[in-house]
Structure 1
Amino acid sequence: MNIRKAEHKDASAIRILMEQLGYPTEEGFIAKKLIDLSKSSDHCDLVCELEGKVLGFLSLHFIPQIAFEADYAVISYFVVDDNSRRLGIGKALEERCTALAIERKCKRIMVHSNARRTDAHRFYLRQGFVEYPKDFVKFL
């Protein structure tokens, strides 16, 4: 199992994973976003490879806080291939995410998970996350 920063060559695999998560995208969109987001020191996309195949993806943002000394880390996308669950891929990605957040001296990691993703909720609880409601969203 190999966890590394996502590269342009991973765009097709990430696109498939994002579709499994319910986010279909046009061809080329993920590749462009990987390039754009890689320019920010406050963003990191990770992939997990098993036997040379990308089977997991995590997108992490570091959000500066004006009222706190430490930044927050926010997971915006986190997905393991539907056919590769229970192999430790998600755990390995989350642990790398936690290590990066600690390196950045973050005091918390936040993740939003759709109410229908009950398996994901159990995973987050096992990984030490606590439920922290409520979120509000304004769609523009």
Structure 2
Amino acid sequence: MQIFVRRATENDIPVILELLYVLGRPIAKNDLEITTFSRQIKQYITNPDKQILVAQTNSKIVGLVSLIFVTRLNQEKLEMYIPELVVAKEYRYKGTGKNLVAECIKIAKEKKCYRIRLESGNQRVESHKFYKKLGFTQHALTFTFEIQ
């Protein structure tokens, strides 16, 4: 199976939404939410400080990674932050995620980032093994405060 990684386009938005649902992100409840989420993805695609990459095989999108380039107060170089990385279940363990991460590393080097950072839920034990296998190290704990 050959995996091709490319930047997402507006035409990819419906598939991007579906993959985000696989990741456990909120499912649009109605047409208004679909429009809102689609608009947010479009803004992400067109923002120079952000990117969405998709993994494709046989013209089918099977994974994605989103990137944000962050300026830190105590660093001269950018940090690449990965908020989302997801591969469709039937395409896992076939190199899809590895290809997406490899492209992220390539981009981070081109932009001269000082590091790549991501978060992974405590329950995602297999994902943690995957990241460690690719050379990522656990660096911190994440704390959240939900605003209602």
Question: Which TM-score band (shorter chain)?
Answer: over 0.9
Counterpart CA distance in 2 for 1:35 and 1:85 is 26
Counterpart CA distance in 2 for 1:8 and 1:29 is 14
Q: Secondary structure at the match of 2:139?
A: coil
Percent same amino acid at aligned positions?
29
Counterpart CA distance in 2 for 1:7 and 1:86 is 26
Select 2:139's aligned residue among 110, 116, 132. 132
* 1:123 maps to amino acid: F
Residue segments in structure 1 that go unaligned for 5+ positions in a row: none
* 1:54 maps to amino acid: I
Match of 2:127 in 1: 120
Match of 2:69 in 1: 62
Question: Is residue 84 from structure 1 mapped to residue 86 from structure 2 by the alignment?
Answer: no
Question: Does the 8 Å contact 1:43/1:60 carry over to 2?
Answer: yes
**Greater displacement, 58-67 / 17-26:** 17-26
Counterpart CA distance in 2 for 1:24 and 1:138 is 18
Q: Secondary structure at the match of 2:85?
A: strand
Question: Does the 8 Å contact 2:13/2:42 carry over to 1?
Answer: no
Query: What TM-score comes out, normalization by structure 2 length?
Result: 0.89
Q: Which runs of 4+ in 1 moved over 4 A?
A: none
Q: Deviations over 1:69-110 (max 9, x none)?
A: 111110000000011111111000000011111111111111
What is the root-mean-square deviation of aligned Cα atoms in Å?
Answer: 1.2
**Greater displacement, 18-27 / 121-130:** 18-27
Match of 1:110 in 2: 117
How far the C-alpha of 1:34 sits from its partner, in A, is 2.2
**Greater displacement, 42-51 / 64-73:** 64-73
* 1:24 maps to amino acid: P
Question: Does the 8 Å contact 1:11/1:30 carry over to 2?
Answer: no
Q: Secondary structure at the match of 2:54?
A: strand
Q: Deviations over 1:28-54 (max 9, x none)?
A: 344212221123211010000011100
Counterpart CA distance in 2 for 1:20 and 1:97 is 21
Question: Does the 8 Å contact 1:14/1:30 carry over to 2?
Answer: no
Aligned residues: 140
Match of 1:13 in 2: 15
Question: Does the 8 Å contact 1:15/1:24 carry over to 2?
Answer: no
Match of 2:31 in 1: none
